[in-house]
């Protein structure tokens, strides 16, 4: 990876520029390795914040990042990207906590945030962003990306 980076840095044009995302957009997406968030949304560096975690769920830390994105760096639109065949769909919270405890010796204090239905989870995430007292809930979109077809579908 370091060698790839060295070669890339040699030929990368026009890096740097302002930190403020030029499209005024923050994306919250699952960390799934099959999702190239920039390419599937047609974004290039400099245009949007991309905040990722397992499930693309709205945690306190996502709200922290969105608050910085909006109040410090001027974004106004939030796009949530969940996806089909997510590892958190139908996952077993207790089994995961058991697994962590057995492997690492400590039971995690936070939930895995498994969900039953991806559309319901997108709606819940949109609600959490809209109802956060720290955010400007101007425009919030919830979508589901199909990892097989590459298509993005709007839920809300």
With helix as H, strand as E and coil as C, how does 23-37 read? CCEEEEEECCCCCCH
Asked if 86 touches Zn ion (CB under 5 A), the answer is yes
Report the residue from 21, 32, 58, 69 that binds Zn ion according to the rule CB under 5 A.
32
The one segment of 11-19, 31-39, 108-116, 147-155 that binds Zn ion by CB under 5 A: 31-39
Judged by beta carbon, residue 30 or residue 79, the one nearer Zn ion is 30
DSSP-derived secondary structure letter, 7? H
Asked if 30 touches Zn ion (CB under 5 A), the answer is yes
Q: How far is the CB of 48 from Zn ion (least distance, A)?
A: 19
Classify 85 in phi/psi space as left (phi over 0), alpha (psi -120 to 50) or beta: left
**Alpha-carbon gap, residue 66 to 30, rounded angstroms:** 15
Judged by beta carbon, residue 114 or residue 135, the one nearer Zn ion is 114
Classify 17 in phi/psi space as left (phi over 0), alpha (psi -120 to 50) or beta: left
Judged by beta carbon, residue 41 or residue 86, the one nearer Zn ion is 86
Binding site for Zn ion (CB under 5 A): 30, 32, 86
């Amino acid at each position: 990876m370091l060698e790839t980076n060295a070669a890339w840095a040699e030929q990368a044009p026009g890096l740097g520029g302002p930190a403020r995302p030029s499209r005024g957009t923050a994306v919250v997406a699952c960390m799934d390795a099959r999702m190239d968030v920039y390419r599937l949304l047609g974004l290039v560096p400099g245009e949007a914040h991309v905040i990722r975690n397992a499930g693309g769920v709205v945690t306190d830390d996502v709200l922290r990042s969105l608050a910085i994105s909006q109040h410090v760096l001027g974004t106004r639109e939030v796009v949530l990207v969940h996806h089909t065949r997510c590892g958190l769909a139908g996952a077993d919270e207790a089994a995961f906590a058991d697994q962590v405890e057995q492997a690492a010796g400590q039971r995690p204090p936070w939930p895995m945030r498994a969900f039953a239905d991806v559309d319901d989870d997108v709606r819940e995430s949109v609600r959490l962003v809209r109802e956060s007292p720290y955010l400007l809930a101007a425009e919030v979109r919830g979508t589901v990306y199909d990892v097989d077809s590459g298509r993005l579908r709007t839920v809300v």
